[in-house]
Structure 1
């Protein structure tokens, strides 16, 4: 399960220690993961998701970006295939906010 794998990595990897919360409200939205200090939200994109789910995610992204959050969409399959590559991408995003 991609969400579980990513959460374990975020809690164990020193680059992200204590920086992310899981399923935490940001306004009226609940991204999969959020870092308030870095203003980054992570959204997992599941294979075969329907149009309604994709539209909801797009709406959530627009709302978050309007409030100065950066949104990183990660395909679940990419987490399962190459977790480290996704963590490197996230770390790069965090460095931009430092």
Structure 2
């Protein structure tokens, strides 16, 4: 983790998007599948929107600026090289279909049981 990312991650936690706020309200406190998620977590030179370390799962929420962005592809390759699985959702999809997004996250969590089980 790069030290300069810590203040940036803290700032992102405060200035979250509506979609991030909605999803966080459903992921926090082990509300989904008893999985512990953290938000705006530094991972190497990047900051993951939501990370469940126990399942090596990162959930990313994207706005229009992320469409076919080469920097996002490099970021995904880096995170995958560290063993993480990344699933992405568009912000409007989270707002319009929160339950569907949560179901998809739960399916991903079920693919890799938590090590303590």
Task: Provide the TM-score with structure 2 as the length reference.
Answer: 0.74
Task: Choose from 44, 47, 52 the match for 1:35.
Answer: 52
How many residues of Structure 1 are paired with residues of Structure 2 in the alignment?
Answer: 96
Distance (whole Å) between structure 2 residues aligned to residue 34 and residue 61 of structure 1? 14
- 1:23-77 C-alpha deviation (Å, 9 max, x unpaired): 011122111111111101111111x3166x9222221111011111000101101
Q: Is the 8 A contact 1:2 1:77 kept in 2?
A: yes
RMSD: 1.9
Distance (whole Å) between structure 1 residues aligned to residue 69 and residue 34 of structure 2? 30
Structure 2 residue ranges without an equivalent (≥5): 1-17
Task: Please tell me whether Structure 1 or Structure 2 has the larger radius of gyration of its CA atoms.
Answer: 2
- Partner residue of 2:65? 49
Distance (whole Å) between structure 2 residues aligned to residue 40 and residue 80 of structure 1? 21
Deviates more, 1:78-87 or 1:4-13: 4-13
Task: Provide the TM-score with structure 1 as the length reference.
Answer: 0.87
Q: Is the 8 A contact 1:10 1:16 kept in 2?
A: no
Is residue 90 of structure 1 aligned with residue 99 of structure 2? no
Task: Choose from 74, 81, 86 the match for 2:96.
Answer: 81
Structure 1 residue ranges without an equivalent (≥5): none
